[in-house]
Structures are given as structure tokens and as C-alpha cells.
Structure 1
Amino acid sequence: MTRTVYVNGEYLPEHEAKVSIFDRAFLMADGVYEVTSVLDGKLIDFAGHAKRLERSLSELDMPSPCTMDELLEIHRKLVELNGIEEGLVYLQVTRGAPGDRDFAWPDPETCAPGIVLFTQNKPGLANSPAAQKGMKIISIEDVRWGRRDIKTVQLLYPSMGKMMAKKAGVDDAWMVQDGFVTEGTSNNAYFIKGNTIVTRALSNDILHGITRAAVLRFAAEAQMQIEERNFTIEEAQAADEAFITSASAFVMPVVEIDGQAIGSGTPGPLALRLREIYLDESRKAAV
């Protein structure tokens, strides 16, 4: 089946979709994005993603191409048109295509923002075998720009990190700055010691994960202790369990860091329980 996508106000077959060579996301990485999961044909945590999108746009002084209610309807229509039961909806908003290349931002009165959405069909997303196996990761230096809290399309270094992990024969990488873990290449990072979850506190240094917020809320409701602070790779290696969260991975156990097994070297019971709780509660609240 040909996938239907959304580009600047139009629903189109993917092979007919085009954007300008002068779009600033292409020339300057001047754009932001969100990825929303779909389970049972419904959107997971859409309100959280919409709120973060509004914040990203505001931080970059970028106008929104539509209201959040309109955006919800576009998401729902794409899910319906493409028959997505389990998968993802990718959204990208750019500063637009002013008609030529310039470092200075175009006048928003004369250059409309660009918007692109497409779906990815991912059968078995919730029941991923990787969750029962766990992830192996390496640590790498974090050399990204200083505003990781804005979800921009500047993803070159995270992509390089993914390739470093692939070359090392593992699944992903955690980034380290000044001796402390910031986050994964496309996820937030955690370890568990006893009944305590440790993860880096929110700041400009990490993305304010929507799944992160939900999982920490569910963990607190389950009477787990939470410490939001800097931590080292060595602390995580000495932990009982470790895991990551993201919109597409949900809660994913980490079983090895830089060649050292975490705990028993298998997915831990608390991480697996958090994944189960997150999926159950998110399905109930899905739209």
C-alpha cells in the first residue's frame, strides 16, 4: 500500500511529496520535530508531545503552522489513512522556505512555516523481543550543542553515536559530558539501585522526555524512590538494573555498559514492570 503523507496542508502519496531546496531545515537544520507512538490505532501521550512542540517552537521564535487541535486531527487522519495499528507518527516543523539561502531568519509575515508528517508502520512495537533481551551500550563523548532541551532536527551527532555503537557490535550509546552521563543517542538514561531510580535532572543538557515524565510519575506511584542528579558510567555499571525510555522504545532494559554486565546481565524485574505499567496506563489514556 502506498503511504499517504502530509506536506504543507496536503495529504499526498509519498512519491508525490516534495519540499523546497530552500527549506531552512534542509539548509540550516532550522526545524523541530516530534515522534508520537501509535498503539491499537490510537496516539500515545499526544498532549505531552504537543506541549513540548509548542515549547520548542517558542524557544526558537518559530511560528506554528497550525493549532494543536488541528495537529491532532492531522495525526488521526494519517493513522486512519495508512491503517496504523502499531507504529509512529513523525512530525517536523521548519521555519519555511524563503526562496534563497541566508543565515538571517526570514520575515514570518512573508515566509510561512513548513510542516511535514508521515507514519511508520511498526507491527509488534509494544511486544518487542528486544525488551526481553535487553540492550548493550557503549559510552561516548557528548559534543552536541548546548540546547538539547529543544527537540531540533540537528541529529547528526546522535546518528554518529548510533554508528559508533553499531561498529562496536552493540545496540546504542550513552553520551558523557564532564564525566557524567547526559542521555542516550535518542533516549533518556537511568539506573536502579535497590528501590531507587537515578536519572539526570532536567536542564538544557538533555531532552525533556515525554516518556520520561510519565515513567517517573508511574514509578513514584509504585512507591519507588527517584533521584534526579548527575551520575557516572561507573555508577550505572555497579547498579542492579539500567534502562532507557523514549517514545518508540517505551521502557527498554539495558544489560551491559562498555562490556560490563549490569546486575545479572539480563533485563531486571523493576525495569520490566515499569514497561508493563507504562504500556497499560498509556493505552488507557491514548487518543
Structure 2
Amino acid sequence: MNETVYLNGQFLPREKASVSPDDRGFLFADGIYEVIKYYNGKPFRFPDHLARLKRSLEEVQIECGGVAHFEQVFAQLLAENKLEKSHAGIYLQVTRGAHQRVHHFPPNLSPTVYATAFAFPSFTENLENGIEVITREDIRWLRCDIKSVALLPNTMLYNQAREAGAGECILIRDGMVTEATHSSVLAVKNGVVITHPLSHLILPGITRKVILEICADNNIPTEERAFSEEELYEMDEVIIAGTGSEITPVIRINETPVGNQKPGEVTRFLQRTFFEMV
């Protein structure tokens, strides 16, 4: 099937889409992105994704004429690719635009806006059986709350996980768990769900937010606090959460078992409630 993409106001075949070699996304990773999942054609937590997109744009001072129009753009993109009734994803990337290479933000640029649609089924085996993860030092920059396209540290660390036969890499900064390379990290100890508080050190994950809302609605106690790598190994349950990961149990960390190496009771409840929502 010929894939249709969206680029700067046009829907066109992927093979005809091109950007300037002077685009600052290419030269400096000067841009942001967002990923939204559609379940049977319906976007999940669309306002939250748009709010995060708007915040990222504001933080890096990229002006693209607002974000409300993307709802129609994404709907048409799904239709063009015959994905409007399936589980699908939208990837959106906005860079500052093209300009001769300079180290400041050039004024009055037209941003480069690119979006693509893709099939996005759930990773059923991971959800059911759980995954093994590794831990590594968090080598990323100090504004992880911005959904930046500057993902080289993330990809380097995730590649180490793949080479180790693991499904994710949990990141450790100054001895404390932050998040994973493309997921939030939550843990359960004595029935309490624990996760790193929102700060510049983690992305404000949409699925993380949903999990905390589920806990609040069902009287499951939560703590938003930093916890150490040593505590991580002592948790009863560990969860990787994200738009693609959904709510994935962790059963081993660096080959050390988590609990009884099976998805725990709280994790299963969160999964069931989450999928009832979507």
C-alpha cells in the first residue's frame, strides 16, 4: 500500500516527502514530537497529548500556529492510510524549520511539520508475561520534561537493552530511578504505587497520569517520590508504562527476579481497568 504522510500542510506519498538539509531538526535536533494512539479509530487522551505538545513547543519557543488543527489533520491521515477503524498511531514532529546553520534561534522561521500514521497493535505477549529490563546511568540532558527529538542518549541505552535481550532500560540518575528510555517507571511496594515526581528529569507521561488517576479512583495509595536503585530491586511489582508500552509488567531487572517473576495483583488490576477505558 502506498503510504500517505503529512508535510507542511500537504498530504502526499511518503516517497515524495522531503525536507531541506538546512532544517534545524536535521542539524541540531531542534524540534519536538508527540505520539498518539488510536484504539479502533478513537484517540486515547487526545487533550492530554495536545497539552503536552503545546507545552513542549512553548518551552523551546517554536511557533506553529497552535495545535487545535492537528485533530483534523490526524483524522485525515488515518483515513488516507485506511487506519481509521483500527489500532493505530500518529507520529508528529515539529522542527524550527530551515535556516543557514547558526547556534541561536533564527527569528521568523516557518516550522517543518511532519506527521505519519502507522499500525499500532498492543504488545500482547509483553503485557501478559512481562519483560526483563536492564538499568543504566541516565546520561540524558536536564530537560527531559520536553518531548525533544534529541533522543540519541535514549537510543544508545535502549540499544544496550536490546543487545542484552531485554525489553527496556531503566535509567538511574545520582542513584535514583527516573524513568526508562521511552517509558515511565512505576513500582509497587506493600500495595502502594510509587513513581518519580514530575520534574525536569522525567517526561510527564500520559499513561503514568492515567495510572495515578485509576489509583485515586480505586483507593490504591500512591507516592510520587524518588526511589533508589537499591529500592527498585526490593519492589513487589515494577511497571513500564507508556503510549506504546501501555502497562507492561517487569519480571526481572538485570536478571534479578521481581517478586515471583509473574505480573502482580496491582499490575493486573491496572491493566484491566486501563483496557476497559480504551
* TM bucket, shorter chain: over 0.9
Find the counterpart in structure 1 of residue 72 from structure 2: 73
Match of 1:191 among 187, 191, 212: 187
Distance in 1 (CA, whole Å) between partners of 2:90 and 2:221 is 33
Find the counterpart in structure 1 of residue 42 from structure 2: 42
Q: Deviations over 1:1-59 (max 9, x none)?
A: 11110001100111111111111011001000000011101111111010011111111
Distance in 2 (CA, whole Å) between partners of 1:272 and 1:38 is 22
Tell me if 1:182 matches 2:178.
yes
Q: Which one is further off, 224-233 or 266-275? A: 266-275
SS of alignment partner, residue 68 of structure 1: coil
Distance in 2 (CA, whole Å) between partners of 1:41 and 1:160 is 33
Q: Deviations over 1:102-148 (max 9, x none)?
A: 1121112xx211100001113x42x6221111011011001111000
Find the counterpart in structure 2 of residue 129 from structure 1: 125
Moved runs in structure 1, 4+ residues, more than 2 A? 66-69
SS of alignment partner, residue 163 of structure 1: helix
Tell me if 1:248 matches 2:247.
no
Q: CA deviation at 1:269?
A: 2.2
What TM-score, normalized to structure 2? 0.96
1:1-287 maps to which residues of 2 (within 5 A)?
A: 1-64=1-64, 66-84=65-83, 85-98=86-99, 100-108=100-108, 111-122=109-120, 124-125=121-122, 128-281=124-277, 283=278
Distance in 1 (CA, whole Å) between partners of 2:271 and 2:36 is 17
Q: CA deviation at 1:153?
A: 0.2
Kindly provide the amino acid, as one letter, of the partner of residue 60 in structure 1. V
Distance in 2 (CA, whole Å) between partners of 1:8 and 1:48 is 23
Unaligned 5+ segments in structure 1 are none
What TM-score, normalized to structure 1? 0.93
Q: CA deviation at 1:220?
A: 1.3
Number of residue equivalences: 276
Kindly provide the amino acid, as one letter, of the partner of residue 80 in structure 1. A
SS of alignment partner, residue 68 of structure 2: helix
Q: CA deviation at 1:80?
A: 1.5
Q: CA deviation at 1:278?
A: 1.5
RMSD of Structure 2 on Structure 1 (CA): 1.1
Unaligned 5+ segments in structure 2 are none
Instruction: Tell whether the 8 Å contact from 2:185 to 2:241 is kept in structure 1 after alignment.
Output: yes
Distance in 2 (CA, whole Å) between partners of 1:276 and 1:155 is 32
Kindly provide the amino acid, as one letter, of the partner of residue 121 in structure 1. A
Distance in 2 (CA, whole Å) between partners of 1:258 and 1:272 is 23
Distance in 1 (CA, whole Å) between partners of 2:88 and 2:190 is 34
Distance in 1 (CA, whole Å) between partners of 2:190 and 2:74 is 40
